[in-house]
Chains A and B, each alone.
Chain A
Amino acid sequence: MDTLGYLGQGFGVALTPYNLVTALSGTLIGTVVGLLPGLGPINGVALLIPIAFALGLPPESALILLAAVYLGCEYGGRISSILLNIPGEASTVMTALDGYPMARQGMAGVALSLSAWSSFIGAFIATCGMVMFAPLLAKWAIAFGPAEYFVLMVFAIVCLGGMAGDRPLKTFVAALIGLFLSTIGIDANSGVYRFTGDNIHLADGIQFVVLVLGLFSVSEILLLLEKTHRGQEAVKATGRMMFNFKEAASVFTVNIRCGLMGFIMGVLPGAGATLASAVTYMTEKRIAGASGKFGQGDMRGLAAPETAIGATACGALVPMLTLGVPGSGTTAVMIGALSLYNITPGPLLFQQQPDIVWGLIASLFVANIMLVILNIPMIRIFTRILAVPNWALVPVIAIITGIGVYAVHATTFDLFLMVGIGIFGYILRKLDFPLSPILLGFILGGLMEQNLRRALSISNGSMDILWSSPITLGVWVVTAFMLVLPLIRIWRKRSVQRRALADV
């Protein structure tokens, strides 16, 4: 019952006119950012961090703004994949599979509103799940000591590799790069300058915003350069804009199923929206069997990944808020934002600053409703934004990225660093390394090192503390399973191939 009281208090925070306007502008900005090629939720949230700070927003409003931008970006990404068949990011690939054929059949408006609706249900289910489970998890997590935290973070990193599917080693290396980068700068415990090369600007470490914008914006700008000759007409969104009751009812069970699955996968670190959308799409395809027209504009094929994406976006906030351990690239960025405000997410946040936590949860409800309502009148304007050519867009993106970086510390050193990181990110991308593990590693790195050192200080240097409590042991077992998972997958794939060869 406590929870409901807190939730009511949260709505009190979220529904103040000031925060409503913040959420509305966040969803609008987010949608536009998500629409544009080359900008996704990670860039969108990262760009707004210094701006929210400069605007002097109070922490709960800043967090609401960032969460609204996050949801808006997910929503905007969907518009370009349905109308252009160009998925803005990996998670919306599945949306394009059935969304684009629907748009070609003259159902663009229906596809868009139905996907917004599905995403809303997904987010709604996940938010309900969050309301139920987050306080429980937070209560449980208070018992965590440094050793438990360290093991949990090892689990999060290993999970990334285990879930990544076809390239576990590259994911692992990327995470290690992030972990290493976090050690640059002055060591808080001993005052030793690490890897700074006597450069005064590095003493503070690499700024989070610089890393994010370099890795994601600059490398994307360079990638877009390869595609200048490619232009594609957007399908016109004409005719009926709104889905009808029958259509909504036909996908309702799909919504519920995928929402639950998406929430669980969102909570697990490393799984994320990409995996969730792929898994739910495949599951629904199998359930539909021969009756489905998946790939040719089946509504269930559109609803399944969208519900899952909406649910994971909210589910990913659970480990971030309760444990302070981010599960995805975007939530890693949000932790970076919180640390600017000197707020450390974790179990104590629920006790010390309930306004922030519950205000955020309540504003997720509000932002989701706003997105569904926005969809109907605004879609024509959004499709017009899609027509903006790259040559007009990219310089502006580059300049805004520069502003975002400069706004953090007002040094040009950061700008140079951003370009350097961007080139590195571009090379990594060309070599098929995933980039978001670098971010996760960077955020987790500092926490991991601190907790490891604290744990070993408690035990006076004995490593036993890392596997002495039941919690740590349990997490180690799951971690070992996650390590073995990709090996099992490879082995199974090989045996299937061998069988196929034997049949021939």
Chain B
Amino acid sequence: MVLQRLFAFVLLLACIGLALMAWPYQAPFSYEPVGPRAFPLLMLGLMGISLLYMVFRPTPIKHSEDEPPLDRETLIKITACTALLLIFAGCFEPLGFVLSSILIGIPMARLYGGRWVPSIVITTLMSILLYVLFDKVMDVPLPLGLLDVLEN
């Protein structure tokens, strides 16, 4: 409940901030009665009212599945996983697709409870396979990065 109130409050602040940001939006030459500002402001306003209600009367969270409560260990894991995804995004072009997916794939497999050797083997194989499948067979261009030298 507290979390939900907090979340609604933060989102409400974001709404206000965005509304302030939207205030100066005006078309230099206007041919129509409704400018670029009205619709976003309307949406933000409606959202703000709903969130305000939620701050005061949060609805109880019903968990559909029997999911375990969030403990410290899971939170650390989730942070680690997010960090890995960000590293993936950062390395995608400089290191190239194959290397960056191997780089994040192995620790990720470990996070989900894989053992070292199978994790390394499967991730490496899958990275190369996916590269060939998408870049060569399906024409989705993927960066080679450091492996560029192998191309020629």
List the interface of chain A (C-beta within 8 A of B): 50-51, 54-56, 90, 93, 166-167, 169-170, 172-173, 176-177, 179-180, 183, 187, 189-192, 194-195, 218, 221-222, 224-229, 389-392, 394-396, 398-400, 402-403, 406-407, 410, 412, 415-416, 418-419, 422-423, 426-427, 430-432, 445, 448-449, 452-453, 456-457, 460-461
| B146 within 8 Å of A (CB atoms) | no
Contact between A226 and B113, CB atoms less than 8 A apart = no
Min CB gap A314→B, angstroms: 26
Contact between A195 and B119, CB atoms less than 8 A apart = no
- A391-B113, A392-B119, A452-B39 known; 6 new pairs, CB 8 Å cut-off, are A55-B138, A93-B64, A195-B22, A226-B68, A389-B113, A403-B142
Min CB gap B123→A, angstroms: 6
- Measured between alpha carbons, how far is A409 from B14 in the docked complex, in Å? 28
Chain B residues near A222: list those with CB within 8 A.
78, 81-82
Contact between A394 and B82, CB atoms less than 8 A apart = no
Which of B31, B50, B70, B89 interacts with A176 by CB under 8 Å?
B50
Min CB gap B127→A, angstroms: 7
Which of A56, A194, A419, A427 interacts with B36 by CB under 8 Å?
A194
- Measured between alpha carbons, how far is A449 from B130 in the docked complex, in Å? 40
Q: With CB as the reference atom, state the residue of chain B lying closest to A428.
A: B7
Contact between B140 and A51, CB atoms less than 8 A apart = yes
- Measured between alpha carbons, how far is A288 from B85 in the docked complex, in Å? 50
Contact between A54 and B138, CB atoms less than 8 A apart = yes
Q: With CB as the reference atom, state the residue of chain B lying closest to A400.
A: B130
For the side of the interface on B, what is the size category?
35 or more
Min CB gap A448→B, angstroms: 8
Q: With CB as the reference atom, state the residue of chain B lying closest to A397.
A: B108
Q: With CB as the reference atom, state the residue of chain B lying closest to A227.
A: B67
- Measured between alpha carbons, how far is A402 from B96 in the docked complex, in Å? 12
Contact between B35 and A190, CB atoms less than 8 A apart = yes
Contact between B64 and A90, CB atoms less than 8 A apart = yes
| B109 within 8 Å of A (CB atoms) | yes
Min CB gap A339→B, angstroms: 19
Q: With CB as the reference atom, state the residue of chain A lying closest to B26.
A: A192
Contact between B36 and A394, CB atoms less than 8 A apart = no
- Measured between alpha carbons, how far is A172 from B59 in the docked complex, in Å? 13
Chain B residues near A190: list those with CB within 8 A.
27-30, 35-36
| B54 within 8 Å of A (CB atoms) | yes
Chain B residues near A166: list those with CB within 8 A.
62
Contact between B130 and A399, CB atoms less than 8 A apart = yes
Chain A residues near B122: list those with CB within 8 A.
392
Min CB gap B119→A, angstroms: 7
| B150 within 8 Å of A (CB atoms) | no
| B9 within 8 Å of A (CB atoms) | no
Contact between B130 and A432, CB atoms less than 8 A apart = no
Chain B residues near A456: list those with CB within 8 A.
32-34
Contact between B21 and A195, CB atoms less than 8 A apart = yes
Chain A residues near B13: list those with CB within 8 A.
none
Q: List 16 A-B contacts (CB under 8 A).
A: A90-B64, A170-B59, A183-B40, A187-B27, A195-B40, A225-B81, A225-B111, A228-B111, A391-B109, A391-B113, A395-B126, A402-B101, A419-B89, A431-B3, A431-B7, A457-B31
